């Protein structure tokens, strides 16, 4: 029984950690989430792409962007922490949350 306690605690703590970082894992009004929505999906939506370009100029035009299309912004943060700061991700999430919900 003890072997299940740590994984259960980690699973229970994940939303708390995300919330503390300002990155809620709950669905947002527009349906996009920097921690869950892949970059390709964001770039394929002109409104979401505009949000990314606003906060990360040049990001969507990067020649290596195709390699990151299946990753999330939060995942890519580990490779570019100076650009994809926690503040940048929170700002992007705030603007993505303002987009109308996709039907």
Read off the pLDDT of residues 53-101 as tens digits, 9 standing for 90 and up: 999 999 999 999 999 999 999 999 999 999 999 999 999 999 999 998 7
Total-model pTM: 0.70
The answer to the question of residue 87 being in a domain is: yes
The answer to the question of residue 69 being in a domain is: yes
The answer to the question of residue 70 being in a domain is: yes
Range of the domain at 54: 27-97
Distance of alpha carbon 103 from alpha carbon 85, whole angstroms:
31
The answer to the question of residue 86 being in a domain is: yes
The answer to the question of residue 3 being in a domain is: no
**What's the number of domains the chain is made of?**
1
The answer to the question of residue 5 being in a domain is: no
């Amino acid at each position: 029984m003890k072997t299940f306690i740590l994984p259960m605690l980690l699973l229970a703590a994940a939303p708390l950690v995300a919330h503390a970082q300002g990155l809620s894992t709950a669905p947002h009004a527009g349906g996009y989430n920097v921690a869950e929505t892949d970059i390709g999906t964001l770039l394929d939506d002109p409104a979401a792409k505009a949000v990314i370009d606003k906060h990360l100029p040049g990001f969507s035009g990067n020649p290596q962007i195709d390699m990151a299309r299946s990753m999330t912004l939060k995942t890519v943060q580990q490779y570019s922490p100076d650009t994809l700061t926690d503040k940048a991700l929170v700002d992007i999430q705030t603007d993505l949350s303002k987009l109308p919900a996709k039907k």
